[in-house]
Amino acid sequence: MKAWAICASAIVLAGCTTTATKVATVSFEKPGAGSTILLMKPDITLAALTASGVGEPRADWMASASQNLSAEAREFAQSKGLQVKEFDPAAAEDQRVQQVIKLNSAVSQSIRMHAYALALPSKTTFDWTLGDGAKSLADREGATYALFINGSGTYSTAGRAMMQIFAAAAGVGIAGGGQSVFVSLVELKTGRVMWTNAVLAGPNDMRKPEGADLLAKSLFKDAPL
């Protein structure tokens, strides 16, 4: 946790990619070769950080980052001998499936809050679960695992960079852009969250294929696949 904070501050100065992986402390089955993994379309929200600090959402960045990370995830899963099935949660029609997806975003939010941002001192286990209702997604889509990728952040505009220099000269520190990605792997049979990783992208620009490629190395670190 401390390392995270140190690196978070280090990013501002030098720029590095940090990861914070967590593996479930409860049992789960590692996928055998040929199992199917449901690759959820990465949900990425990116904005341009304008001079004053107002974010201006950018559709083109969101689309390319989502595409790049999706390609990286597919490549990674395939390298582990898994069958990949892509799935767009926004297009899900089935009520049960929609509920599982909603539940996953709620659980992910709790994990980010209580296992990362403000870790609960009394919670030493990592046993988050969506419950066995997740099975409905498995049955419907014929997959045993699901991989969720969530990213958000901003990239500084030239104006913001100028503002940083201007403010620094005046002795006032203002922040530049930054991006984070959260990824989680769910065992659909039990609903257990097997592994999560929170990554600060640092210099790796997910809007570009090369950047996404470098980012993916950190992103899928220690994934139990």
Partner 1 sequence: MKRRRGSCVLSALVLAAATFSVAGAEEREVGARPAADSPEAGLWVLSDKAESEAKRSAELNTSAELREYVRSVACKVAATHCPEIRVYVFDRPFFQASMAPNGYMEVWSGLMLRAESEAELAFVLGHETGHYVNSHSWQSLQAVKSRATGAMFATVLIGVAGAVASVNAGSAAAANGGSAASAVNSINSVTSGLINAVYLGTVASLFSFSREHETIADAFGYDAAVKAGYQPSAGVALWQRLIDETAASDFPKVRNGQARTSVFDSHPVAADRVAALNKLAGDQTGGEEGKARYRAAIRPFLGPWLRDDLRRRDFGQSLFLIDRLGAGGEDLGVINFYRGEALRLRRKDGDAAAAEAAYREAIRFADAPPETWRQLADFAERRGDHAETARLLQTFLDKAPNAGDAAFARMRLARALGAPAPEVAPLAAPDPVAPPGSPVPVAVAPSAVSAALQADLSMPTANGTRP
Q: What binding mask, one character per residue, do residues 74-113 give for partner 1 by CB under 8 A, x or -?
A: ----------------x-------x---x-----------
Is residue 152 within the footprint of partner 1 (CB under 8 A)?
Answer: no
Question: Looking at 52, 122, 124, 125, which residue binds partner 1 (CB under 8 A)?
Answer: 52
Is residue 163 within the footprint of partner 1 (CB under 8 A)?
Answer: yes
Is residue 167 within the footprint of partner 1 (CB under 8 A)?
Answer: yes
Cα–Cα–Cα angle for 118, 223, 207, rounded to 5 degrees? 80
Q: What is the dihedral of CA 205, 73, 219, 223, to 10 degrees?
A: -170
Q: Which residues contact 69 (CB under 8 A, 6 or more apart)?
A: 42, 44, 149, 151, 181, 206, 212, 215, 216, 219
Closer CB to partner 1, residue 45 or residue 136? 45
Q: Which residues contact 132 (CB under 8 A, 6 or more apart)?
A: 189, 190, 191
Is residue 136 within the footprint of partner 1 (CB under 8 A)?
Answer: no
- What residues make contact with partner 1 under the rule CB under 8 A? 43, 45, 47-48, 50-54, 56-63, 90, 98, 102, 163, 166-167, 170-172
